[in-house]
Structure 1
Amino acid sequence: MHIEKEILNKVNEWLTPTFDMTTQEAIKELMTSSPKELEDSFYKNLEFGTGGMRGVMGVGTNRINQYTLGKNTQGLSNYLKKVFAGEEIKVAIAYDCRHNSDTLAKVVANVFSANGIKVYLFSELRPTPELSFAVRELGCHTGIVLTASHNPPEYNGYKVYWKDGGQLVPPQDSEVIQVIESLEYSDILFEPNESLIEYIDSTIDEAFFKSTIANASFNTPQSAKDNLKIVYTSLHGTSIKAVPQVLEMAGYNDLHIVTEQAIPDGNFPTVKSPNPEEPEALEMAIALAEKTNADIVIGTDPDSDRLGIAVRDMDGKIKLLNGNQSMVIMTAFLLEKWKRNGKLTGNEFIGSTIVSTPMMLELAAAYDVECKVGLTGFKWIAKFIKDFPQQQFIGGGEESFGFMVGDAVRDKDAVGAILLICEIAAQAKAAGSSLFKELLHLYMDFGFYKEDLISITKKGIDGANEIKQMMITLRENPLKEINGQRVVCIEDYQLSKGKDLMNNVIFDINIPKSNVLIYYLEDGTKICARPSGTEPKIKFYFSVNTELNAINDFAKTEEFLNTKIKNIIAEMQLN
């Protein structure tokens, strides 16, 4: 096959003595056995997306390896020494259960230390939210976690946190990338200064656990805790290092762990995908819940920032909640607790994202608090906390099964969210209600919002071009009517412009630019198109709503909304 000259130039660079013999031999093998894979390995450089940098492990500029991570770390080191000149620069590093995460974390630690930077390295795998916590707890200037979240086993990744504990955001992100791109691979300092690398574990664990309990506990009586039966699975990931310990310290003793999934394993052998967004991922946990007659099922992704929840419906059957449903339950509970405790002064806010349920706006309005809405990714919610220190952050979430309670952790945090949802479930059960019944009451009070998501995977160069063309088509030939409803507004976050089609008014969008399009229909339907920043996918988000007049009307009302979403998907030819 023909390979572009620019790609071949990159390949030849990697065949020089700057790169070790193992790398060079792997490239030579690809040249003869798999030219297509060689092309995919070098046709671009890995980029920072909504969740940092993720990619398939292997050789090449478009792969996760010691050189791509080493170059990132060298660039970040140079940037830190420029921005914090004269200070003792400190960095915290954590890693998850994925293949090579521990060795890649040590490579990153080596490069930082070679540049004279003090490194705090977790001695074993730890949850991502604990790394965010550790950055502030240790007074670090930055933090790194080696993880690919819920991606398949062949992936790994590199997430960068700033001194506030939140992920890298503008302007630092583009400035760091500029420094990285100015480097040659030969500029990387790999030889460590071991005296600058300090291993951390139990001291930070204890502080993280205590902070979680302080933030996510709400005076639940011990009798209510004793009466809540919980099933939990870590899906072979890092949350096993924190969740059982936090729940026990908080007084939840009736905990049943899915033992087959409790051992960290980067192969994720018992699931097709270690993603709690996928119903299949919680099958073993749900089976255990049926066996033990549990009230609630909880599962986390490999780095323990997302959580999936299943509860018993009005008929006692276990039902999976989606991320929007979990988010509104937790947010409504927090708002009500803050109100009852007299803590709402009009200077508080909750956080959400442009692709999440509009129901968050309804909740905020009802409690007279602001709902700050940002781009996809929790780094934008963390940025709100940093940018508005005069306001107090209550909690916030996004549709992709992430939630954050308070501001001690500045990223989505399954550990704190699990304790919070157990508090809500225990108090509801003690009051003769349930999590599901509480959700239905919210629908009756604020409107029944139903969301769905379609992800279309397009791999490689051709796939990237297909995704690009889909967005071009949606922009250049915007839909005027969908499922019999007029499009009344279109927001284009790449242009930072919106258009009110009913009044022919163009308005500015004061959110950082992003390749996102949102259509609003006259019946309140919202449709969003967004290429993923970390996976070869384009995602379409759907939100529809109507009134729920009575609990007994739930099933038929849900079917009405499901049918509406199906009709929209069919008309847009996305199925």
Structure 2
Amino acid sequence: MDIIKFGTDGWRAIIAKDFTVYNVARVAKALADWLNQSGKNAKVVIGHDCRFAGALFAETTANVLCANGVKVALAKGFVSTPMVSLGVKELAAQQGVVITASHNPPAYNGFKLKGPHGGPTNPKDITAVEALIPETVEISDTTLDQWQEKGMLEYIDLEKMYIDYLHTKFNLEKLNNAPYKLAYDAMYGAGQNVIRKTLPAAVLLHCDYNPSFKDTPPEPIHKNLLELSKVMATTPELKVGLATDGDADRIGLYDEDGNFVDAHHIILLLIQYLHKYKKLNGKVVIAFSVTDRVKKMCEQYGLEVQVTPIGFKYISEIMITEDVLLGGEESGGIAIKGHIPERDGIFDGLIIYEYMMETGKTLKELCEEIYEVVGRFSYERNDLNLLDEQKQRIMKEAADGVYTEFGKYKVVKVENIDGIKYHFEDGGWTMLRASGTEPVLRIYAEGNSHEEALDILEQVKKRVL
């Protein structure tokens, strides 16, 4: 029996190796059993992104749920994760399932759970579902058409629902006529149709269907977005470049010079706009790997900050019970007040675009504005593909307090909420963390300049290897 474990953001595995029709059916059976324990007449919204065999895995999930007495609302065609989350809330469903491996390489697919609040299912419930995964499962030979005839299955247009929702949140006509033009890179992901339909004036990159993502992992970080960077740097009328990942819940940005604007800066930009300009308040919730500059800004603005382990499910859990202005992760997953408690790269990108329109400032100018509040800084990350024994050895040494300096960078404070974070004398920091979804050791680094951030990464890599 394959042991199936949910990581920081769902269960992910290599297609046809561990991520098979049979194993997906096992997870679907566990979900059905968990829902049936509640005694409710349960309903689940299901969607898939652009990955290989997404429709097959989504239909398998639907079949198993229907066979176990759970009604299904199934999206036709690919959809983003935020579309499924919004659909769960709008349809008052008990759960959502997204067949996606998010930003992982094309060989992977995955299974995400979404709660009735319109965000990630809370960790306690995910653990309960995981515990119910059976060793064997029967897959019904009933067709989806037959389930539809029996009233157990309906098809829904989640993309239209989402676009209609955007029209209630933004003045899209004004954005389409903006003097600051936008470029959008879908990375061949599930957000590709939304910008095409809502912002027809935008310049589009990689907005076509390609389940292999042209062999580039659909993660919106600079090394994967060099074409967007070049387009921004060589097209004077373009003032902001937006990128989203495979299931469109993560964001990356570029300024008018083709410089990458990472998630730390985006979080600060959004806090600045929502609080200083829109006069909104609330707690700011950030994952452990996010810059401490957020704390500095919030201290100046009188906003409370809470730090969580890595995984948006921890942030979402707080957002549904407390008054939260923004919840954000280093990886580009950000949720804001006035929207569902879910990461949403397109929604966040439209907020930034609106920010530019309302202030008449470019993205570069807005970044300079936040530097006036928190000081100038630069962030870098290095993902090391290591043998498991290497990875475990490094993390054990970190946990045992072996690392007290990295070259010239002396450690003055250590935190271990999720991974190990080392603070340096001049305000810089580094962090070591084993990925929860990939065979990777991540090294994070922040310095007061780009050169310093790169130097910290190099010194840390030398020390641990």
The TM-score normalised by the length of structure 2 is: 0.91
Match of 2:178 in 1: 226
Does the residue aligned with 1:534 lie in a helix, a strand or coil?
A: coil
Code of the aligned partner of 1:268 = F
Give the AA of the match of 1:64. Answer: F
Q: Which residue of 2 aligns with 1:304?
A: 248
Tell me if structure 2 keeps the 8 A contact 1:54–1:534. Answer: yes
Give the secondary structure class of the aligned counterpart of 1:107: helix
Q: Is the 8 A contact 1:96 1:302 kept in 2?
A: yes
**For 1:533, what is the secondary structure of its paired residue?**
coil
- 1:107 corresponds to: 60
1:7 aligned partner = none
Match of 1:150 in 2: 103
Deviation at 1:213, TM superposition (A): 4.5
Indicate if the aligned counterparts of 1:355 and 1:528 stay in contact, CA closer than 8 A: yes
Whether 2:208 is the aligned partner of 1:263: answer: yes
Cross-structure match for 2:263: 323
Which deviates more, 372-381 or 122-131? 372-381
Shift of 1:540: 1.5
Once the two structures are TM-superposed, the CA of residue 533 in structure 1 deviates from its matched residue by: 0.8
Q: Secondary structure at the match of 1:318?
A: coil
Structure 1 pair 96–407 and aligned structure 2 pair: CA distance change class (3 A):
same
Whether 2:302 is the aligned partner of 1:368: answer: yes
Moved over 6 A (4+): none
- Residue 289 of structure 1 contacts residue 297 of structure 1 at CA under 8 Å; is this kept in 2? no
Secondary structure of the residue aligned to 1:171 is helix
How do 1:193-212 residues align onto structure 2 when only pairs under 5 Å count? 193-194=147-148, 195=150, 196-201=152-157, 204-212=158-166
Does residue 93 (structure 1) correspond to residue 50 (structure 2)? The answer is: no
**What is the alpha-carbon distance in structure 1 between the residues aligned to residue 84 and residue 260 of structure 2?**
29
In structure 2, C-alpha distance between the alignment counterparts of 1:94 and 1:165, rounded to whole Å: 14
Specify the alignment match of 2:372 in structure 1.
Answer: 444
Name the CA shift for 1:363/1:117 in 2 (closer, same or farther; >3 Å): same
SS in 2 for 1:185: coil
Question: Deviation at 1:573?
Answer: 4.5
2:403 to 479, 484, 489: 479
Secondary structure in structure 2 of the residue aligned to 1:238 = coil
Cα distance in structure 1, aligned partners of 2:229 and 2:367: 22
Aligned-partner Cα distance in 2 for 1:387–1:257: 38
Q: Secondary structure at the match of 2:5?
A: coil
Tell me which residue corresponds to 1:133.
86
Tell me the equivalent position of 1:500. Answer: none
**1:465 Cα deviation from its structure 2 partner:** 2.8
Counterpart AA for 1:472 = K
% identical aligned pairs: 25
The alignment's C-alpha RMSD in Å is 2.5
**Distance in 1 between the 2:191 and 2:294 partners?**
27
Change (3 A) 1:265 1:213: same
CA shift at 1:437, angstroms?
1.8
List gaps (5 residues or longer) in structure 1.
1-9, 11-43, 248-252, 494-513, 546-557
Contact 2:187 2:245 in 1 (8 A): yes
Gaps of 5+ in 2: none
**Aligned residue runs from structure 1 range 320-359, under 5 A:** 320-339=260-279, 343-344=280-281, 348-359=282-293
Question: What is the match of residue 192 of structure 2?
Answer: 240
Q: Tell me if structure 1 keeps the 8 A contact 2:444–2:457.
A: no
| Aligned AA (1:309) | L
1:144 shift after superposition: 0.3
Q: State which of 234, 237, 261 in structure 2 corresponds to 1:290.
A: 234
2:388 aligned with 1:464: yes
Q: Contact conserved, 1:349 with 1:370, CA < 8 A, in 2?
A: yes
Q: Which residue of 2 aligns with 1:48?
A: 6
Report the equivalent of 1:71: 26
Question: Aligned residue for 1:175?
Answer: 128
Inter-partner Cα distance in structure 2 for 1:221 and 1:163: 32
2: CA distance between counterparts of 1:190 and 1:483? Answer: 62
Matching of residue 383 in structure 1 with residue 317 in structure 2: yes
Match of 1:121 among 69, 74, 83: 74
Which residue among 428, 431, 445 is the counterpart of 1:525?
428
Residue 458 of structure 2 is aligned to residue 572 of structure 1 = no
Aligned residues: 460
Q: 1:184 aligns with which of 115, 129, 135?
A: 135
Counterpart in the other structure of 2:351: 420
Structure possessing the higher radius of gyration over alpha carbons:
1
- State the 1:113 CA deviation: 0.4
Shift of 1:475: 1.6
CA distance in 1, matches of 2:176, 2:132: 54
Secondary structure in structure 2 of the residue aligned to 1:572? helix
Specify whether residues 483 and 335 from structure 1 end up closer, same or farther in structure 2 by C-alpha distance, changes over 3 A only: farther
- Give the CA deviation at 1:221: 9.8
> Could you tell me how far apart the structure 2 residues matched to 1:366 and 1:160 are?
37
* 1:162 matched residue in structure 2: 115
| Secondary structure at 1:542 match in 2 | strand
- Cα displacement (A) at 1:365: 1.6
Alignment match, 1:499: none
Give the letter aligned to residue 72 of structure 1: V
The answer (yes or no) to whether the contact 2:26–2:137 under 8 Å persists in 1 is no
Q: Is the 8 A contact 1:486 1:521 kept in 2?
A: yes
8 Å Cα contact 1:52-1:158 kept in structure 2: yes
TM-score (norm 1): 0.75
1:455 aligned partner: 383
Deviations 1:188-247 (A, max 9, x none): 65646343110000xx444423433544x4x79949942121111212121122223333
* 8 Å contact kept, 1:149–1:302: yes
Matched letter for residue 371 of structure 1: V
Q: CA contact under 8 A between 2:232 and 2:255: conserved in structure 1?
A: no
